[in-house]
Amino acid sequence: MSAIIDMLAQRGRLESFLIGGEWVAPRGHLTREVVNPATEAALCHIVLGSTADVDLAVMAATAAFTGWSESAPAARAAMLARLEALMEARAEVLADCMSLEMGAARAYARSAQVPLAMAHVRTAREVLEGFTFQSPRGTTAIRHEPIGICALITPWNWPLYQITAKIAPALAAGCCVVLKPSELAPLSALLLAELIEEAGFPPGVFNLVQGDGPCVGAALAAHPGVDMISITGSTRAGIEVARAAAPTIKRVAQELGGKSPNVILPDADLVRAVAPGVAAAMRNLGQSCSAPTRMIVPRAALPEVEALAQEAATQIVIGDPFDAQATHGAIANRAQFDRIQTMIAAGIDEGARLVAGGPGRPDGLAAGLFVRPTIFSDVRTEMRIAQEEIFGPVLCLIPYDDVDEAVRIANDTVFGLGAHVQGSDLARAQTVACRIRAGQVHLNYPAWDPHAPFGGYKQSGNGREYGREGMLEYLEVKAILGFYPAP
């Protein structure tokens, strides 16, 4: 058992929930094994919550709401600043935790998983500090008021990043929250909960209940005391949450699946376009809903693209997450590992041509949830591997004959979360970006912008996260007519 698990066990965190400012014993009695994906050995067990635990957490959030929603924005901003500072101070432990619970390479957890999570806290504070909650429109006052009690359901692939993307703007807006982290990667959420306590947030403003989707997730979605539910997860899970939420007419925000295109325009510099595209598709071992896993390339350039992509794949080093040489670790859980193997087999069966990788584990790794970075070429847009979200390091090279066809292929999906466009002629690249039906488009691999709103078209969900738009999701709009005297 690792030092992190020992620490959490000694504090009783593995068998308690944070509700109303206290770490309390769950009402539920079922447990769940937390597995280290690099070894497939059990790390520990957590207790899963029940509907009674959800009721208690919602009651605690409701009791805290009036005071928190009426608190000064400057006071809320100061607490977010303290939380960010505490995350920076504990960054090494947080990174270790994510390497253990979901298999991220330690170097990647420290360089991306933790700092990007911190960026959401910082961004929420920056938005709050510049936000006007009430403004005049003639004689009418337009007010933005916190929506109320927010239930937040987060996934296992970016366990800390996805939590802060939700709790930071919700708390900044003046809402109180109940968090259900993924039961498959729940440990970093426990560490974050301790930091939220240490930062000085009032009791009941933040509550954490561990649990699974069919019980705790469904109870939160259906709860009449919850005013909004935000979920990041699969499209299937988003549908179930929306169904459960419908009878209480609560706001539902969904960040769901993706099958993002990366359109390489005919004038693109292939050396600059292909290798970063492979890296982007394989980021976090492809376990990112916005990963650009469909590289759409000019047919005449396909052989050169294949060679460049194959070379880029050789730069990926799969191994023990705590090995300093490993650029990528293990797939986060057994179900996802099996799904990736099934989809690689489907690609082979449908006639796609392997350029790199393939089924099974990389050489030298006989155990653990390790997969081979895989690239298929001659992929047709109707193939399963081009249509279904694989959520693993599998890249499809899809050829096109003209730019109109490239755009059609890019939009030939039920998803619409992210997209990339590469081209030397920026004006043409901008035009193509505007034609792609996705919530966020990247031109020529720009730097990540935490203020850029993120969310999907079509079956990738609704609502937006990050930046000002992310905080607006947690606010209601009120108009008070006659509030100001006539000029």
31-85 tens-digit pLDDT? 999 999 999 999 999 999 999 999 999 999 999 999 999 999 999 999 999 999 9
* Dist CA 222 CA 250 (whole Å): 9
Closest-CA residue to 181 (of 78, 32, 2, 6) = 32
Tokens of 165: 């993307």
Which residue out of 183, 255, 465, 473 is catalytically annotated? 255
* Dist CA 475 CA 73 (whole Å): 14
Residue 486: the pLDDT is 86
CA 144 vs. chain centroid, Å, equals 26
Phi-psi map region of 281: left, alpha, beta (phi>0 left; psi -120 to 50 alpha): alpha
* Dist CA 340 CA 346 (whole Å): 10
Which residues are CB-contacts of 345 (< 8 A; sequence separation ≥ 6)? 359
Contact 159, 179 (CB under 8 A): no
Tokens of 210: 């561990």
- 3-state SS class at 180: strand
* Residues pairing with 418 in the sheet: 440
Q: Give the C-alpha distances (Å, rounded to integers) separating 394 from 190, 356, 357, 364, 388.
A: 32, 10, 9, 20, 11
Sign of CA dihedral 185, 191, 194, 195: negative
- Terminal CA-CA length for the chain: 71
| Burial environment of residue 478 by CB neighbours within 10 A (0 to 12, 13 to 18, 19 or more) | exposed
* Dist CA 165 CA 96 (whole Å): 20
Packing angle, helices 114-129 and 161-173, rounded to 10: 10
Query: Would residue 97 show up in a list of annotated catalytic residues for this protein?
Result: no
Closest-CA residue to 155 (of 100, 87, 101, 222) = 101
* Dist CA 91 CA 419 (whole Å): 30
Which strands, in side-by-side order, build the sheet including 440-443? 353-356, 374-377, 394-400, 294-298, 261-264, 418-422, 440-443
Place of tokens 């000694």: 10
Place of tokens 């880029």: 312
Segment-wise mean pLDDT, segments of 10 residues, the chain, 487 residues: 87 96 95 97 96 98 98 98 98 97 97 98 98 98 98 98 98 98 97 98 98 97 98 95 97 97 98 98 97 98 98 98 97 98 98 98 96 98 98 98 98 98 98 98 98 98 97 98 93
* Residues pairing with 358 in the sheet: none
Contact 108, 327 (CB under 8 A): yes
Angle at 331 between CA 327 and CA 332, to 5 degrees: 115
Tell me the domains of the chain and their CATH numbers: 3-256 (3.40.605.10), 261-449 (3.40.309.10)
Residue 466: the pLDDT is 98
Closest-CA residue to 244 (of 217, 213, 221) = 221
Query: Would residue 396 show up in a list of annotated catalytic residues for this protein?
Result: no
* Dist CA 144 CA 472 (whole Å): 8
* Dist CA 136 CA 242 (whole Å): 35
Tokens of 63: 């009791």
pLDDT in tens, 98-153: 999 999 999 999 999 999 999 999 999 999 999 999 999 999 999 999 999 999 99
Q: What is the pTM of this model?
A: 0.97
Which residue out of 150, 175, 176, 289 is catalytically annotated? 289
Contact 108, 319 (CB under 8 A): no
Q: Give the C-alpha distances (Å, rounded to integers) separating 207 from 21, 56, 193, 346.
A: 8, 10, 8, 42
Residue 104: the pLDDT is 98
Residue 2: the pLDDT is 80
* Dist CA 426 CA 435 (whole Å): 14
